[in-house]
Structure 1
């Protein structure tokens, strides 16, 4: 297993981060135990979760994934120090989470305590803001005109961000979290937090996790360049485009029990004719070079300059093993050139 430093922190994380959002809905405690134990046996030391999980989110599944991890930790206390556990506070918009209220310094303090209780641990290694209070160009809102940035009150947003930063600092000083990071944010979000941290002698973010894959690479190059030069770890989530890049959803296929058979809060916005066409071509490249489509997509993500650790997820052990094996693959210049040619045809398929 290869490791990378997590941004400006001193934490060394595996190049693979075990995602957990299916635990508590598509997967039960036994499944999660099996996945965690196997991932650790392969050298993975990084696990990502969130108070919002399982996904798709609902009042019934809220907090279940953290509780599943907490149950595992209760039975494996001797392994806690070997793990880097990251979790996230939900942003505004979920009526069953703090009545859908925006994140504040006080809600950070309260949510950290709740996550600690569910996780059965004394500290969280990386505490992340799941999404910002303001609207950002994520979740299919990245096309021109989807968001009106001029309508945002930047002074109020900045004041709110300072309040959040002070809440995070309080938790760090109390020893409840070690570091903090962003998720589903932008270069403006990164740089505003960095400026506020410098101006007020508060802890700076060490990481950001955003959606990133062959079908959704909008963070390259500008946001990733920002991360590299500001020492912010970049953590791609959904490197398989919610499973599409495995090829299992081509031409409208819906395998029984798969994620796309479940109700999606944001809809199946990745399911476009362009995504379908691009995926077919990537699948053909993978097969012609003796790779599975998932291995091609994950190996590509891993080799992108600036990527620190890629968040993977699986609903069964065969998927997990396939995904882990992807990071042992080195893509040849020939494969990368073939990928590039498809990417040029479909740079933003959804």
Structure 2
């Protein structure tokens, strides 16, 4: 069933989007958000304040309730797995499947002059136990010969148990950060972007579809107490993902027992220097929920001048731990990316299997292309 799920994630997301109020949908992508979660225009990433909460918020819906039975496979006659992550581990484990500490999203308010997010701690498997279970539930509800998926609340008891998808205290919501990376040619103003194919054999979520790169969970680099604070920064998390996904470097997981020294890390230091001179600029569009899994993603774009990009990422890997980078047929290197043109954007949004967060970012980036490519204020 997971193979069937991964083969039709986009279609399932479109089908289940009809169950949520139309005004919550962000553009054409199967992504939903509260009004105060999305910005009317992109703002610089550094303008968003992260607030820490030590208050433990109990998780009401965990994915272990009786309503989850349709999504939990049998592990023995008459006995089901108690958690969806246990089923994945024993029946269909991807190469990357670790339970890591994650930042838990507790509140979002991106209204002008009050842009902030409040977060605490939970674990990655807390997220998967519910998000992948409701996706599985929807896939399992489809008739064998049905050409197009459909969604009906009567067939989705676990999803129904969640209730309001924007109630961040009722269920575990651990956000990912997905980034459109634009390589801007200073002399022409034209741009290309990085595209990623997520290999179902390697990843547990958003498998078998295209996504933007880098993309990753917003997590501390280790379980050490100091990393909880040291890594509590959207940009730092994004730079770690650039290192791992674009350059193919080992994951900085804190295994050395010392906090990551960002200021003395050459990649981070060089990107920071370029940000200070506007040769690299990071923007945020807001936070959205994928309709299929109800997982949250911080929607971002990073614009890099071509000379900066080429010096730092000119040796981008073809294949990484989660899939493969995609390039235009006429390009000689994956670092050249895909042309950021109306034709490319429309094709990806309408004809290719693309994850809803990436589709939303790409759509909004094209809409605000003059702003983000020219650094209009």
TM over 0.5: no
Quick check: which one's helix share is greater?
A: 1
Work out which structure has the larger RCO, using CA pairs closer than 8 Å and 6 or more positions apart in sequence.
2
- TM-score (normalizing by structure 2): 0.28
